[in-house]
Amino acid sequence: MRATFNAHIDSAAKIAVALAMGLLAGLPQASAQHAADLPSSEEAMTAAGNQLFAVPEGIRVTVGAMAVYQPKYDGAKRYEFSALPVFGFAPIMSNGAGGGLPFDARALDDVSLALVNVHGFEAGPLIGYRAGRAEKDSPRLTGLGDIDGGLAAGGYARYNFGAFYVRGSINQQLTGTDTGYLLRFATGSSHAITPKIVIKGVVTLDYGSSDYMQAYYGVTALQSSRSGLAVYDAGAGLKSIGALLSTEYALTADWTLLATAGYTRFLGDAASSPIVESADRFEVRLGAQRSFDWRMH
């Protein structure tokens, strides 16, 4: 199992390097009249290396929490409140700006580190926790058994162009119930409409493996006999499409208020599953975060 996992990581690393080389090769080249003003390739590599390996003066840390109102499980009609942590950090370089290797906690199952960050292209590993499901969460789940959550790991790649970005990620559950892998594609944008208010929007598209779809949306013959639901085979395919709109308000230099509203529509086998009570999923988040600098000297 370890050898297989290492092989997957090795393949992912090769793909990330290939993507980075492809993007760099596709960057516009300088015209002849401006070539003399540009540094040599050796000088450019030295400058990039100095920036990558520069020792930071400190770390900018962000911590907070959000209250979340969402369905008890994906597809449920009943909603509940829960809490979600907010955290992140970035090195502070000599000019006082953030830099180095950005750490981004986008979701519970998607906490990433940009090991590659050049010319708008980012790539790196991600880790997180994939939530399970308890049959006691709804009468509809009675007899289906529990899905144990667990550690999930994978990788991501992202390309930034101006205020917009496109991103792709994959995560595989490693502990708990084997629920396969999930591919997530996203495109989004961020705009500061005033010095204190930032608006962010993102559209996502999720694709689940056959193991993932069957675990969360399928019904086996044994589960059917226990629950009364019809046998249902959920195959690999698109799981959902969604949109998220968030607002950040800088209350002070350190404190920021957060508000998010989202909508998700289940697709394909997920939408048709007898487990799903509603193919429409809504979500609201409210919270606050505090940022502070920790200087090393």
CA distance 239 to 74: 11
Q: Tell me the per-residue pLDDT of 167-217, one tens digit each, with 9 for 90 and over.
A: 999 999 999 999 999 999 999 999 999 999 999 999 999 999 999 999 999
pTM exceeds 0.85: no
The residues that bridge with 173 in the sheet, in sequence order, are 152
Average pLDDT over residues 149-168: 95
Predicted confidence at residue 132, as pLDDT, reads: 93
Distances (CA, A) of 47 to 43, 52, 112: 6, 9, 25
Question: Are the C-beta atoms of 291 and 256 separated by less than 8 Å?
Answer: yes
Predicted confidence at residue 56, as pLDDT, reads: 64
Predicted confidence at residue 147, as pLDDT, reads: 97
User: In degrees, to the nearest 5, what angle opens at C-alpha 181 toward C-alphas 280 and 159?
Assistant: 85
CA distance 98 to 268: 42
Using 50, 70 and 90 to split pLDDT, how confident is the model at 229?
very high
CA distance 177 to 134: 12
Predicted confidence at residue 57, as pLDDT, reads: 76
pLDDT at 43 exceeding the cut of 80: no
- The proportion of the chain whose per-residue pLDDT surpasses 90, expressed as a percent, equals 63
List b or e across 137-168, with b for residues whose CB sees 16 or more CB atoms inside 10 angstroms: bbebbebbbebebbebbbbbbbbeeeeebebb
Question: What 3-state class would DSSP assign to 281?
Answer: strand
pLDDT at 166 exceeding the cut of 80: yes
Using 50, 70 and 90 to split pLDDT, how confident is the model at 59?
confident
Predicted confidence at residue 126, as pLDDT, reads: 95
Predicted confidence at residue 157, as pLDDT, reads: 97
Residues whose CB falls within 8 Å of the CB of residue 31, separated by 6 or more in sequence, listed in order: none
Predicted confidence at residue 222, as pLDDT, reads: 97
What 245-248 contacts at long range (C-beta under 8 Å, 24+ apart), as own/partner pairs, is: 245/199, 245/200, 245/201, 246/199, 246/200, 246/201, 246/285, 247/197, 247/198, 247/199, 247/200, 248/197, 248/198, 248/200
* CA-based nearest residue to 97, from 54, 126, 64: 54
For residue 114, the tally of other CB atoms under 10 A from its CB is 20
Q: Tell me the per-residue pLDDT of 68-112, one tens digit each, with 9 for 90 and over.
A: 999 999 999 999 999 988 877 777 766 555 455 566 777 888 989
* CA-based nearest residue to 121, from 22, 205, 190, 43: 22
Q: Tell me the per-residue pLDDT of 13-32, one tens digit each, with 9 for 90 and over.
A: 333 333 333 333 333 333 33
What CATH fold (topology level) applies to the domain 63-295? Porin (2.40.160)
Torsion angle of C-alpha atoms 273, 274, 277, 280, degrees rounded to 10:
10
Q: Report residue 227 as tokens.
A: 């629950």
